[in-house]
Amino acid sequence: MAQEPIWPGSGSAASGSTPFGFYDLESDFQTDAPKFASWCAKRLGYPITAVELQDTQFYACLEESISEYSAQVNQFNIKDNLLSLKGNSTGSNLTHKRIKRTMSEQVYITEQYGNEASVGGTTPVYRDYITLTSGSQDYDLNELLVDGNEVSGSGPIEVKRVFYKSIPAISRYFDPYAGTGQQTNNMLDAFGFGGSSPAITFVLQPIYADLLRVQAIELNDQIRKSSYTFEIVNNKLRIFPTYENSTPGKLWIEWIKTEDRDNALGTRYSGSTDVISDYSNAPYDNMKYNNINDVGKQWIRKYGLALSKELLGIVRSKYGTIPIPNSEVSLDGDTLRAEATAEKDQLIEQLREMLDQTSNKALMEAERESSDSLQEQLKKVPYPIYIG
């Protein structure tokens, strides 16, 4: 069997010589790859010792190192920006792009509370009325509002509001004809204007006086009259007092369909456009080698050297010793692999620590500490004394 050639001292063109070809067309990669191979070979002992690797193997280690750097940075960016990214389209590549901090996901979460509090949200609210008949006190809302209703269709509903209440007390409080023939004079007395000439002398009443009068009217209706109220059990409505009128009445009701509220996807994620849902489909791709700064490229070179050392250790571990006349030579494959593993772990740890120190949270905390420190310094500045 022919002997495979080993490192001859220089490498061929890198384009088309890598396993995946992620960066073959980039000018910086085409220039740096042969230099990287030569540097790694010399760091591994060439030309004093033979290096049992080919140029394509060095290029493969460089490609893997760039991809690992890209993966580590992209993983950090996904984690740091996912809250702002969720719900957006997956069609745009976000690599090398600044992500604007938004509250879209927080707002989307709070919309669910708005649904339940009837102050907003995304769940459609339906409004319709049921017909009140004289002498009837109980009404089946499922039968009257849902079955056969073209607006709401079928399915269970949840009632949100029933517009069955007495006339607001404030409207009677300002009624100028509340007395018997006194007309506006009664209202003037209620306001505390009695005995005063309108538009000349006014007595300003505190706001709690108005609230006490309104509460008195409502409490009077509740105790001395049959107050307007209702109860709902299993969407069976019972009204108090019983409707007594020969003419059918209308009672307006607001409700939602429970399937609209309980739909886990919701209206925001409807349609054919794919959206970012979690870590798995955030659109971060391999970085462009040309766009990586020198700090990143130095990390890539060191990690690529560790990969090359690991690969050389695997090659040399095929045979632990080589027999020679009257002796044998022990190879350092296991040592190289152990050193490479330790170096890779150390580089990954350093990169992750640096990324954590530049997270949005860490930068805001650093800015706050800087601001606090500046305030402490300004406190020690003597105040000028002006003598006029």
Spell 239-268 as b/e; 16+ CB within 10 A means b: beeebeeeeeeebebebbbeebbeeeebee
Q: How many residues does the chain have?
A: 388
What are the pLDDT digits (tens) for 218-266? 888 878 877 788 899 988 999 888 888 888 888 999 888 888 887 765 5
Mean pLDDT of the chain: 82
Residue 275 located in a structural domain: no
Model confidence at 307, in pLDDT bands (50, 70, 90)?
very high
Query: Are 309 and 234 in the same domain?
Result: no
Domain count, the chain: 2
Indicate whether 97 belongs to any domain. Answer: no
Please tell me whether residues 263 and 128 are part of one structural domain: yes
Last residue of a domain, one of 268, 302, 332: 268
Residues 209, 137 share a domain: yes
Do 136 and 195 fall into the same domain? yes
The HSE-up count of residue 168 (CA atoms within 13 Å, CB side) is: 5
Residue where a domain terminates, one of 243, 268, 293: 268
Residues 181, 312: one domain?
Answer: no
- Reported as a pLDDT band with limits 50, 70 and 90, residue 343 is very high
In this structure, the answer to whether residues 255 and 323 fall within a common structural domain is no
Tell me the mean pLDDT in the region 37-59: 92
Q: Domain check: are 260 and 311 in the same one?
A: no
Task: Give pLDDT tens digits for 9-34.
Answer: 777 888 889 999 999 999 999 999 99
Could you count the other beta carbons within 10 Å of the beta carbon of residue 336?
Answer: 21
In a domain, 276, yes or no: no
Q: What pLDDT sits at residue 204?
A: 62
Q: Is residue 83 part of a domain?
A: no
- The pLDDT of residue 183 is 46
Asked if 296 and 243 sit in the same domain, the reply is no
259 shares a domain with 135: yes
- Beta carbons of 88 and 275 less than 8 angstroms apart: yes
Give how far Cα 244 sits from Cα of 27, 134, 145, 200, 225, Å: 89, 5, 22, 48, 15
Work out the angle at residue 84's Cα, subtended by the Cα atoms of residues 91 and 75, and round it to the nearest 5 degrees.
Answer: 75
Asked, for residue 4, whether it belongs to a domain, the answer is: no
* 180-219 pLDDT, tens digit each: 444 455 555 555 555 544 445 445 667 787 788 888 888 8
pLDDT at 194: 54
Q: Which of 214 and 287 is assigned the larger pLDDT?
A: 287
Q: Tell me: do 204 and 254 sit in the same domain.
A: yes
| Any domain includes 387 | no
User: Is the domain of 119 the same as that of 183?
Assistant: yes
Q: Is residue 256 part of a domain?
A: yes
Residue 192 belongs to domain spanning: 111-268
Please give the pLDDT value at position 2. 44
C-beta of residue 66 within 8 angstroms of C-beta of residue 84: no
For residue 178, name the pLDDT band (cuts at 50, 70, 90): very low
Q: What is the pLDDT of residues 159-176, one digit of tens each?
A: 888 988 877 887 776 544
State which H helix or E strand residue 169 sits in.
helix 169-173
Angle, nearest 10°, between helix axes 55-85 and 104-117? 30
Identify the band that residue 151 occupies on the pLDDT scale cut at 50, 70 and 90.
Answer: low
Same structural domain for residues 256 and 324? no
Using CA atoms, how far residue 326 sits from 319, 332, 372, in Å, is 18, 20, 75
* Model confidence at 128: pLDDT above 80: yes
Residue with tokens 């140029």: 55
**Residue 378 is assigned to a structural domain of this protein:** no
Confidence of residue 1 (pLDDT cuts 50, 70, 90): very low
Given a cut of 90, is residue 300 above it in pLDDT? yes
Predicted local distance difference test score (pLDDT) of residue 71: 95
